């Protein structure tokens, strides 16, 4: 497994176009691989996420079973004339995944598409609908943490600002309601994404490895589902 980091040049028109359409970004990421892994749910897949750290620092992360070639992205949305830098950095992710152990604690970031299925009447087919409030978006993640191999860390009582609802080291930010065209299918896709920042403890290393390499939730092709970890502190 590999993790790749690529900084996008937001001053370039092609860079802004990619950021404005998850469908275009998905296609650009797919072009980094001669062959994509099958998406039958049986193994690792290509996952990606865009982190908007500031107006000038927008970073694309890609996790993949094989090493990508982002030359085309450097030419379209990077700094192709900057000969002293390779344009992207790729790391051995497998070695990191092998070190995960029960009880270890990490900070995490996840951009996800929290949805549920509803129907208004018994005879109506179920429809996938986004959770729109922070309360239910948090609940969506917490319902999946046990099967995904982690537990969100609780705050110490003295660190809680509210008597209820502030028990966890978990923050939601960067909620986005996205609409973009899929030209080949002549239809418009709508989805809601939200970014979770927090701290977790590993409860099942194998399950967490699956989460980190297969993604969490829906809309993985459109920049959702990728969770990354970093050392605490």
The structural domains of the chain, with segments of one domain joined by +, span 2-96, 101-207
pLDDT tens, position by position, for the chain (233 residues)? 999 999 999 999 999 999 988 999 999 999 999 987 776 667 789 999 999 988 779 999 999 999 999 999 999 999 988 766 668 999 999 999 999 999 999 999 999 999 877 666 666 677 777 777 888 999 999 999 999 999 999 988 888 877 777 889 999 998 888 877 776 666 787 888 999 999 999 999 999 999 999 999 999 999 999 999 999 97
Is it true that 2-96 and 101-207 share their CATH fold?
A: yes
Would you say domain 2-96 falls under CATH 2.30.110.10? no
According to CATH, the topology of domain 101-207 is Alpha-Beta Plaits (3.30.70)
SS3 120: coil
CB 167 within 8 A of CB 10: no
Q: How far is CA 151 from the centre of its chain?
A: 18
């Amino acid at each position: 497994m590999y993790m790749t980091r690529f900084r996008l040049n937001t001053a370039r028109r092609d860079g802004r176009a990619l950021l404005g359409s998850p469908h275009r970004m998905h296609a650009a990421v797919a072009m980094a691989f001669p062959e994509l892994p099958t998406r039958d749910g049986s193994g690792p897949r290509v996952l990606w996420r865009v982190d908007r750290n500031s107006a000038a620092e927008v970073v694309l992360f890609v996790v993949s079973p094989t090493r990508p070639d982002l030359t085309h992205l450097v030419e379209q949305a990077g700094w192709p004339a900057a000969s002293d830098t390779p344009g992207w950095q790729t790391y051995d992710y497998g070695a990191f995944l092998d070190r995960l152990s029960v009880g270890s604690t990490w900070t995490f970031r996840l951009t996800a598409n929290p949805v549920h299925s509803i129907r208004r009447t018994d005879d109506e087919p179920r429809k996938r609908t986004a959770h729109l409030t922070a309360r239910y978006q948090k609940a969506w993640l917490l319902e999946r943490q046990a099967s995904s191999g982690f537990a969100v860390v609780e705050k110490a009582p003295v660190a809680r600002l509210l008597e209820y609802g502030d028990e966890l080291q978990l923050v939601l930010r960067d909620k986005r309601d996205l609409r973009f065209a899929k030209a080949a299918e002549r239809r418009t896709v709508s989805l809601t994404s939200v970014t979770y920042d927090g701290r977790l403890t590993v409860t099942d290393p194998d399950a967490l490895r699956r989460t980190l390499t297969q993604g969490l939730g829906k809309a993985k092709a459109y920049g959702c589902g990728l969770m990354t970890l970093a050392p605490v502190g």
